[in-house]
A and B are shown apart, each in its own frame.
Chain A
Amino acid sequence: MDLKKGVPDFEPMAFDEVFRSHFREVYGYVAYRLFPDRDAAAEVTQDVFLAAVEAWPTYRGECSPIAWLRGIARRKTADWFRGRAARPAASAADMNEVPAPEAGSDANDERTAAISSVMRSLPQDYANLLEEKYLDGLSVRQIAQRRGVGEKSVESALSRAREAFREKYERLQIQQER
């Protein structure tokens, strides 16, 4: 029995532990955001950890390490889209469209493609809000504090984001049924 296991945060966690513990989660998050571009996902995942290792000494346990890493990943994926938008070949439509998975793709890919497509079709702030609430597990109060706004404002934005998600999600389901 390792007595340190199950002893949350008793000893300072070295960044390599953080990297090893959360590498898959961060990659999974980035890959879903950038689906189906796996090369970009690998590149951006690397950028996330390179930024994180430099910022790690400033991390003060204000949220879980994975929520903190996802925050960085959110900014890095946004940077990637901005960079892509700047390239002449890309258009706004490009950025929001998620190509259908190739023939022979598995059910997981199809599901990721569908959700990625729904989330990308939402206004960026709505998508971020939904992720903070449902992926990071933050409460309305926590999101409000993080953003420096009132709880009411977060609640109403969340309500609009949920509604937008529902609309797109249902439309997608109808398309799939056809």
Chain B
Amino acid sequence: MDIVIERELKAATSACQPPAGLDDSIARRLAERQTATPAATPTAMRPRGFRLGRAIAVAAAACAVLAGLAWLIPPLSKPSTAYAEVMQALAVSQEAECTHFHEKDGRECWVSFKPLRWIEKNKDGSVQSLDVSSEQGVSYSPSAKTVTIMTVSPSTLVSSPAGDAARSANMLEFLAKRLQTEKAMGAEVTKGAERIAGKEMTVFTEKLNGVENGQGTRRFIVDPATSRLVRIEETVGDKTVGVDFDYPDKMPADVYALGVPREAKVIDLRLTADTACLLKSVRAAADRFSKTYHAIESDIQTSFSGEAPQKLGWVNEWWVKGAMIRSNSYDVPLPRDLGEKDWQKQLAELAKPFLTGNVADLEAWMKQRKPISIGVIRDGADSVAYLSREDGKLVKRTSRRTPGGPIQAFWQLESPIETSTPRMGGQEKGPWGDLVGIVSNTPSPFTGPGPKCETRWYFNPDRDYLCERFSVANFDPNHPGKDARYFRKVAEYAKTPGGLWYPARSEAESKRLSGKTARSITCFVDDKAKIDDKLFDLGTVTADSLQLTPPASRLTSRKAD
């Protein structure tokens, strides 16, 4: 009977085909619903998010290539002789000025490091390049016959493999960062020899042993004559993917060296001088923020309309020490016995203890429970531990997230300001001095050209250029007046014990088709706190350190009166 039930259910659900156009219609509604950047709180340790989708094509493509490379290196290998020899092969390979790798489908990439330069030609004739020293990305579209030049600052790349590469001296350092930070659990490397294309090659085979979702094997093929890596491949099931490497003397000079026609129309989307100057001041202010601090932040929904939320909010605790970051994340779940009537009042009541403005209250609340996830970033690699809802077992996995901790949200630097062709947005009066604005328009993430997304940042020069007001609006010309908006403003500033300004309380409001919601974000930062290095060792995290994510409350059918 098991087989019959499974067969019949699968057949029944796969038999119905959606009507034409339904997917586009829903995509449009999603675009209306989604405020493009509601990441009002740091999301650095969450396993998933929207951030990559917002990167521009050049940066995203660079990330894809470099992510692939990074992924092809065993993420969680055990040190062994063979392992050390792989490292040695990489060490020799990295001495080359330029690494060129190519794939079966005709895609070719050239990479050189410090400063990172990357250039790629695809089978369809499109060409993209990234030059970190000039903070410039170039993209050639063969169908439009246009060359688009845009600003790509290192901060845009900060959460990406390209960002890691930009901070690396060479290929080895880039790859070794992952090895050094993720070697704790399980994969095994063995060494062998194999005749490939008539040549004797050294082959290092890594069995993934289920680590990091991996169930197959990876092979690092090294030419013993040069001791350089010539191929990396991975086999999962019956599918093998691979990249071949060689080491040319120099990089292609520019996109035109790869066949882009000189007569292609050039679209220049680089920052204007005044916008670049303002952004430089903002980034300099962000860089001045303490590199060591302890922060507690709560993000709590305070008003409700439309459908009931999945949870009341969350609390994050952060420890930041240079490039090392630890975060403990707590959900504030909804009670299971929430009444059908007056549920909004009940939720407002539940929110009160989080809004007292007293850090001791939050600390006491956290003491009574365990985090649902613990994240650690060190040496550029980001790992997260949580309990699997499916089997309750401890999961530790790498993810690639923005380093920087909660200060990301202070300046709203998560949003890709440079890549969205911003312009000056004028001045506004604020309670603590005049604000200077930047505005940018980008296509909606769901529908491409058509509905537009407008983002505004207003910085306060008198408060270390902190972002005092931030808004995102999605406009749909087909549904005027029904745009989705997100707005966040600083309601209260405070100074750290070290004398640095930060937003102690912010208020955020989302207006979507389902209704309006408001949230209050409270933050406490102590930049004089003593922080133990043990906190940044994910190896010490056990299943007992964590609480299983509570199942989502079944409240989505509740609607506001």
Contact = CB atoms under 8 A, between A and B. Distances in A.
Q: Do A and B come from one complex?
A: yes
Interface string A9-49: 11111111101100111011101100100100110011001
A63 B241 contact: no
A170 B33 CA distance: 45
Given A3-B69, A112-B12, A165-B5, A58 B552 contact: yes
Interface stretch (B134-142, B386-394, B406-414): B386-394
B46 A57 contact: yes
B16 A142 contact: no
B243 A23 contact: no
| Majority secondary structure of chain B interface residues (helix, strand, loop or mixed) | mixed
Interface string A60-100: 11110000000010011001001000000000000000000
B26 A45 contact: yes
Contact of A115 (B1, B8, B373, B391): B8
B22 A42 contact: yes
Contact of B15 (A28, A53, A76): A28
B400 A11 contact: yes
Contact of A6 (B5, B14, B236): B236
B388 A42 contact: no
Contacts of B548: 145
Contacts of B373: 60
Contact of A169 (B4, B103, B310): B4
B30 interface: yes
B557 A82 contact: yes
| Majority secondary structure of chain A interface residues (helix, strand, loop or mixed) | helix
Interface stretch (B49-57, B342-350, B352-360, B522-530): B49-57
Given A7-B71, A15-B34, A142-B391, A166 B16 contact: no
B68 interface: yes
Contact of A16 (B8, B43, B445, B557): B445
A17 B52 CA distance: 11
Which of B19, B26, B51 has the most CB atoms of chain A within a 10 A radius of its CB? B26
Contacts of B209: none
Contact residue range for chain B? 35 or more
B549 A109 contact: no
Contact of B514 (A11, A19, A50): A50
B551 interface: yes
Interface in A101-122: 108-109, 111-112, 115-116, 118-119
A24 B52 CA distance: 24
Given A50-B30, A57-B48, A75-B557, 17 more contacts: A1-B243, A4-B68, A16-B30, A42-B19, A46-B22, A46-B29, A49-B29, A50-B514, A53-B30, A79-B556, A109-B15, A111-B15, A118-B8, A134-B6, A139-B390, A145-B392, A146-B551
Interface of B: 1-2, 4-6, 8-19, 22-23, 25-27, 29-30, 33-34, 39, 43, 46-53, 63-65, 67-69, 71-72, 103-105, 107, 213, 234, 236, 239, 241-243, 307, 310-311, 331, 372-373, 386, 388-392, 395, 397-401, 445-446, 512-514, 548-549, 551-552, 554, 556-557
